[in-house]
Amino acid sequence: MIMKILITGGSGFIGTRLVGELLKAGHQVTIFDKNNSSKYPEFTIVDDVREKDALIKAVAGHDVIYHLAAEHADDVRPISLYHDVNVIGAKNLLAAADNAGINKIIFTSSVAVYPLNAGEPNEDSPVAPFNEYGKSKYVAEQVFEKWVSEDASRSLTIVRPCVIFGEDNRGNVYNLLSQIYKNKFIMIGAGRNKKSMGYVGNIAHFLTFALDFGPGFKLLNYADKPDLTTNELIGIAKNAFGRNGDSELRIPYGIGLLGGLAFDLLANISGKSFSISSIRIKKFCADTTISTSRLLETDFKPPCTLKQALEQTIKTEFSVSNK
């Protein structure tokens, strides 16, 4: 069935890929984002999820809402923006959905609701966010859960993605690949920690797949398995770049963390943001893995493997031929 779908945050990294998938499936799409879409400007309403009246107007006439809009960077100032955008924005969205009579919402939360080094948490594991972003995402989840509990005809899917990478993204995975490509990568820690990762093309397919979920509440972690250690990730990248023989400088975790704390202090004094911080060092060296057993129960099949996705990203972003 062809549907009219509104996507908050649809101009972003995941949102742009999702819009493409939905359009290919024949759906009508509206993007609601504080930034105009570089790829789909004709479908974009430029506004802010903190503006309830604007959301109410935009949502009218749609069948489904994807809520991707979020304040998510590590160094957001003031930190109250996490609550204002992620929590108040969720409440505004639900007011708009109720006004339009919309009963199906798909919300992207985050694995940041779990603590660092939590093993391989599943959706029933204890929640203990390690930063303000994770805290705000968990509060937003509770806002949505209350909404779906109030009407048995409502359908809510909450997806907790791990770190997502892919073409046209300039996040942490790209920065790591870029450092390896330029021979500027410095390894912090032993590299045996494991990372759950997801490819943007795969999660866009899954979010489209989730349109078929019926009434009720589904909470799902998202990652492309199997997990890689940091050393394995670096090995795949070096192989794709043709640099298997290169060695990198390695710094013990303790020394790296002290360096991150020094940059934290400098950032507080100067008011500037730096690419190095203690939280980024902690995240890089931590086990950040999740269980996807519940995802497997949906019978979703990702279009490509994690290794294929990394090689494709490297080929596209760095003009490198896959070996």
Per-residue pLDDT band at 73 (split at 50, 70, 90): confident
Q: Which two tokens stand for residue 154?
A: 């409502």
Inform me whether the pLDDT recorded for 38 exceeds 60. Answer: yes
Whole-structure pTM value: 0.90
Q: What is the distance between the alpha carbons of residues 277 and 258, in angstroms, rounded to a whole number?
A: 10
Please report the pLDDT score of residue 76 as a whole number: 78
Active site residue 253: no
Check 82, 133, 174, 181 and give the catalytic one: 133
Instruction: Tell whether 323 is covered by a domain.
Output: no
- Does residue 14 lie in a domain region? yes
Count of domains forming the chain: 1
CB–CB of 191/237 below 8 Å? no
Residue 275 pLDDT > 90: no
Tell me the CA end-to-end span of the chain in Å, nearest whole number. Answer: 42
What is the domain range of residue 19?
A: 4-168+197-225+290-304
77 pLDDT higher than 90: no
**What type of residue sits at position 56?**
I
220 strand-pairing partners: 159
Which CATH number do you get for residue 66? 3.40.50.720
277 has a pLDDT exceeding 50: yes
Q: Above 80 in pLDDT, residue 158?
A: yes
* Alpha-carbon separation of residue 268 from 2, 259, 271 (angstroms): 51, 14, 5
Which of the four pLDDT bands, split at 50, 70 and 90, describes residue 54?
A: very high
246 found inside a domain: no
Q: For the segment 210-264, what is each residue's pLDDT rounded down to a tens digit? A: 999 999 999 999 999 999 999 999 999 999 998 876 677 899 999 999 999 999 9
Give dist(CA 265, CA 106) in Å, integer: 39
Identify whether the C-beta of residue 67 lies closer than 8 Å to the C-beta of residue 9: yes
Please classify residue 2 by burial: count the beta carbons closer than 10 Å to its beta carbon, then call 0-12 exposed, 13-18 middle and 19+ buried: exposed
Structural domain includes residue 210:
yes
